[in-house]
Structure 1
Amino acid sequence: MTIQILADSACDLSETHYKTYDIEMIPLTVHLDDQEYKDGIGIKPEKVYDAMREGKSPKTSQVSPQAFKTMFTSYAEANQPLVYLAFSSELSGTYQTAKMMEQEVKETYPDAELHVVDTHCASIGYGLVILRAAQLAKDGAGIEEIIETATYHANHMEHIFTVDDLEYLYRGGRVSKTAAFVGSFLKIKPILHVEGGKLVPLEKIRGSKKVLNRMLEIMEERGTDFSNQTIGISHGDDVETAQKLASMIKEKFGVDDILIEMVGATIGAHAGPGTLALFFLNHTYQ
């Protein structure tokens, strides 16, 4: 029986990906203007970015325990194996909730093939892990191979990104008020990455023109074998800059396979418009 892959909406994949690879998606929630929206279903990222440009501060919340319990129960009853590769546990409580519901459902269905894995990844970096696992599942791979390969990719997935305005990260509790003020005043563009699933500042660059070149330098320093992997780029409603970065990568590394997607509403609500993120494997692709 084919293994079902489950992702949450923080993977920032498109509806086309879900359909093509038969990926089940469970949405996080976005709160805006006293309304609740299901990320990737009931709200488009552009609405969140427009609201943030107007000074609003959208909030997000994790997948509810009941949503996981209902989904896990349906797969357990159908005796359908399910692997849920989760958004980083350091950035959301969704993984922990899923683990609790996995254990609860298995009390009733002890033989259920339910597996919950923390990817420690976000956005298209997380999405690339999902796509690799879904391709294996589609090809008939077993659970052990899928989890082992997905874990390898997750552990080696670099997240290199910058934001347009540190104020958004301040609102999301990622940087201090002083850092946000000084950064904006000095036109400093931060470069951040994800380490152990956590958001970690890497460098500060003076002036936005230097940022793209520096991102490519970091890619060259940390990555390898680019021609045999999919490079991911996600953006906060700035496809023009994303395409520029993609062109630079193609020219410098001879890469053809680049996936560009918009940062979804959940992550975008914290990173803000103008976010630009680059994802690649930091070890030989296997």
Structure 2
Amino acid sequence: MAVVVVTDSSASLPADLVDELAIAVVPLHVLVGDQAIREGIDAVDIDYGSDAVSTSGASPGELRAVYEQALTRSDGDGVVAVHLSRQLSGTWEAGRQAVREMAAEDRVHLVDSLGAGLATGLPVLAAARRAKTGAPLAEVYATAVSASREARTFILVNRTEQLRRGGRLSAAASFFGSELVTKPLLQIVEGRLELREKVRTRSKAYAKLVAAAVESAHGAGATVAVQHLGAEDAANTVAGQLREKLPDLRELIVTEFGPTLAVHLGVGAVGVVVIPA
């Protein structure tokens, strides 16, 4: 058949692309009290500002079940599993445990995307499109690794309290001063979420976000994704500015952050992922 690409639900991929490229998605979990909600499967209202809401990754058993199904579906061609950064979640490590239990290291290749959201999703798309051409396992894996290393991620948030509470911000980003008068612009560096700079006003913060993305694109042919939580107008404005400043984009995706990322980023967050040509 062909190599099958697997990811987790934090990749935030649009459903039509998941279906078109036959990508297998493992749900992560939002924990509300004693209730575990499977992202992308269970429908429920979530208060993203509540201290009672947290998240958890996929278990080795959950990952193993999907890997085995994907391996069967590949007809022996193999599986490439691309997951969110191991610095931000235990999902990649759980995947490694699952592969060891399967004794399938030669048939199931794991990739740490070094990111989250569409910083995971864009490498997944690149790998799945490569797999669709009939490329062998090694080439599909190399495509995912290359895209993961090249991706640049920038995120504008209203507050960092939820990120700090969840341990997702590096120690270097622990001091922000008053967040009432500054807007934190974050970036992901080698899989870790760090402070890029503090900006005084929201309009300047959006300008900085767009400028960082344009600089990272290195000219024509870049792939770009814009994500948001409850900030559709702002995301569309950012996307429009990127189209204007980067008229030769290869692809531009605009979508919402999934619940497992939204819990940590908070309402109003807007992020941009760029993979240069």
Normalising to structure 1: TM-score of the pair? 0.88
Tell me the equivalent position of 1:218. 212
Aligned Cα root-mean-square deviation (Å): 2.2
For 1:254, what is the secondary structure of its paired residue? coil
- Deviation, structure 1 residue 255: 4.5
Q: Is the 8 A contact 1:72 1:105 kept in 2?
A: no
- Give the deviation of 1:220 after TM superposition: 3.1
Question: Which of 157, 181, 199 does residue 205 from structure 1 map onto?
Answer: 199
1:70 is matched with 65
State the SS of the aligned residue for 1:183. coil
Distance 1:196 1:178, change over 3 A: closer
1:232/1:260 contact within 8 Å kept: yes
Aligned pair partner of 1:273 in 254, 267, 270: 267
Partner of 1:85: 82
1:90 alignment partner AA: Q
Partner of 1:59: 54
Q: Answer yes or no: is 1:231 the counterpart of 2:230.
A: no
Aligned-pair distance for 1:103?
Answer: 1.2
Alignment counterpart, residue 129 of structure 1, candidates 120, 123, 126: 123
SS of 1:203's partner is strand
Contact in 2 for aligned 1:166/1:183 (Cα 8 Å): no
Q: Provide the C-alpha distance between the structure 2 equivalents of 1:74 and 1:174, rounded to a whole number of angstroms.
A: 32
Pick closer, same or farther for the CA change 1:247–1:26 going to 2, 3 Å: same
Distance 1:213 1:9 in 2: 30
CA-to-aligned-CA distance 1:169-206 (integer Å, 9 cap, x gap): 233234589846x4333x21111111110111110101
Do the aligned residues in 1 keep the contact of 2:88 with 2:168 (CA within 8 Å)? no
2:19 matched residue in structure 1: 19
Whole-Å separation in 2 of the counterparts to 1:253 and 1:70: 42
Q: 1:7 to 1:75 in 2, by over 3 A?
A: closer
Q: Alignment partner of 1:234: what SS?
A: strand
Q: Which amino acid aligns with 2:192?
A: K
Give the C-alpha shift of residue 75 in structure 1: 4.5
What amino acid sits opposite 2:65 in the alignment? Answer: T
d(CA) in 2 for partners of 1:77, 1:136: 19
Query: Which letter maps to 1:231?
Result: V
Counterpart contact for 1:192–1:200, Cα < 8 Å: yes
Q: Which of 142, 145, 150 does residue 148 from structure 1 map onto?
A: 142
What displacement does 1:115 show? 1.3
Aligned to 2:101: 104
Looking at structure 2, the residues matched to 212 and 18 of structure 1 have their Cα atoms a distance apart, in angstroms, of: 30
Deviation per residue, 1:1-55 (Å, 9 max, x gap): 30110010110112222111100000111111431110111136xx33xx124x4
Q: Distance in 2 between matches of 1:205 and 1:258?
A: 26
Separation in structure 2 between the aligned mates of residue 76 and residue 219 of structure 1, nearest angstrom = 37
Q: Distance in 2 between matches of 1:61 and 1:85?
A: 17
Alpha-carbon distance change, 77 to 40 in structure 1, aligned in 2, over 3 angstroms: closer
CA offsets, 1:100-120, max 9 Å, x none?
1101111xx68x621111111
For residues 128 and 67 of structure 2, what CA distance do their matches in structure 1 show?
18
Q: Write the letter of the residue equivalent to 2:166.
A: G
Q: How does 1:28-47 map to 2 (within 5 A)?
A: 28-43=28-43, 47=45
Indicate the structure with greater helix content. 1
Separation in 1, partners of 2:86, 2:194: 15
State whether residues 168 and 272 of structure 1, in contact with CA within 8 Å, keep that contact through their aligned partners in structure 2.
Answer: yes
Structure 2 Cα separation of the partners of residues 73 and 265 of structure 1 = 26
Instruction: Extract unaligned runs of 5+ from structure 1.
Output: none
Q: Distance in 2 between matches of 1:174 and 1:118?
A: 16
- Match for 2:92 among 91, 95, 99? 95
